[in-house]
Amino acid sequence: MSLIVLIESVDGAVATASLESLGAARELVSQGFGSEVVALCAGGGHDAALLGDHGAQRVLEVEDLGAYSADGYAEAFAKVLGMQEARGVFAAATVRGRELLARVASLLDLSVYSEAVGLEVEDGSLVVTRPLFAGKVITRVRCNAPVACVSLRPKVFAPKSGQGEASREGLSAGTLEMKAVVQEILATAAGKIELTEADIIVSGGRGTGGPEGFAPIEALAEKLGAAVGASRAVVDSGWRPHSDQVGQTGKVVNPTLYIACGISGAIQHLAGMKNSRYIVAINKDPEAPIFKVADYGIVGDLFEVCPALTAAL
């Protein structure tokens, strides 16, 4: 019985979050849940050696899948899954992974266990640990369905290399009903680091005072090789794009280091970043709630502290 991992890639380059999912699936196989890990890819040209090294034992490429379409890809993946003896279907809980897995599950009449932060095998069943209510409650759910469909929160499961090799097989999706197709992806900035994959994030809040107030944050981020995030107050004010928002209604991030500048620490913001390994807060209000979750707190003006940190670095 296979554990099938839906691989997310851009121009053939596999997302790190998908490599993490492969590692998690392979770990389950080693615990006796499923017998092999299969990487299911859209389009040809994927690096089977890389996928094998990270845990795939078989790589299935649906070669005639072109530009991304949620319903088209889901239909194609559901067709392929229908031909496999699957015990589990996994995807990274990215924007695309969540969208696809939900559609695939719906087509196959399966339930999705979303945003897993832990996977265990108990008495032959898969037990998924997942947060609810913006992380206030952690649940452990036993999947009794014949096929477990699980999305995995990025940067929780470490990618594991050195797993072995994978065979490769090309498939055809046949005719698909595509209601909408992505025609063009407009990159916002070349080389921009995706928030959910970033190891370091420097985020700005309303304390920046406006879009130009992000200059010291951008400079610090550049020095650290970090991604730039923002609170919802900032995004709602139009100072930064929505894709930068961290929090309950934005992105959930898990970096090694999260530097919050001029962010008060509202519960909805904390829901998106409180699992960061180290949190540094820069805020001029010593009573700001962000200091309750911070490992290091600097009470001060971000317009003085950020340039000083950048200069010191």
What is the contact surface with ligand FAD in residues (CB under 6 A)? 205-207, 231-234, 245, 247-250, 262-264, 266, 268-269, 272, 282-285, 288, 301-303
CA distance 102 to 234: 30
By three-state DSSP, how is residue 304 classified?
helix
Residue 236 CB, nearest distance to ligand FAD (Å)? 8
Strand partners, 41: 61
Residue 202 CB, nearest distance to ligand FAD (Å)? 13
Question: Would you say 6 or 288 has its CB closer to ligand FAD?
Answer: 288
CA distance 10 to 15: 8
Instruction: For residue 257, give the H/E element and its range.
Output: strand 257-261
Question: Would you say 73 or 214 has its CB closer to ligand FAD?
Answer: 214
Residue 196 CB, nearest distance to ligand FAD (Å)? 14
Question: Would you say 46 or 232 has its CB closer to ligand FAD?
Answer: 232
How many Cβ atoms from other residues are within 10 Å of residue 16's Cβ?
17
Residue 268 CB, nearest distance to ligand FAD (Å)? 3
177 φ, ψ (degrees, to nearest 5): -95, 100
Q: Which distant-in-sequence residues (6+ apart) come within 8 Å of 297 by Cβ?
A: 280, 281, 283, 290, 291
Residue 193 CB, nearest distance to ligand FAD (Å)? 19
Residue 287 CB, nearest distance to ligand FAD (Å)? 9
Question: Would you say 164 or 241 has its CB closer to ligand FAD?
Answer: 241
237 φ, ψ (degrees, to nearest 5): -80, -5
Question: Would you say 46 or 269 has its CB closer to ligand FAD?
Answer: 269
Q: Are 249 and 192 contacting, i.e. CB atoms less than 8 angstroms apart?
A: no
How many Cβ atoms from other residues are within 10 Å of residue 22's Cβ?
31
Question: Would you say 295 or 301 has its CB closer to ligand FAD?
Answer: 301
DSSP letters spanning 95-118: HHHHHHHHHHHHHHT--EEEEESE
Which residue in 69, 71, 47 sits closest to 59, CA to CA?
47
Residue 308 CB, nearest distance to ligand FAD (Å)? 12
Residue 281 CB, nearest distance to ligand FAD (Å)? 9
CA distance 54 to 229: 29
Q: Which amino acid is at 59?
A: V
Q: Supply the DSSP symbol for 309.
A: H
Q: Which residue is nearest to ligand FAD (CB)?
A: 247
Question: Would you say 55 or 272 has its CB closer to ligand FAD?
Answer: 272
Question: Would you say 72 or 207 has its CB closer to ligand FAD?
Answer: 207
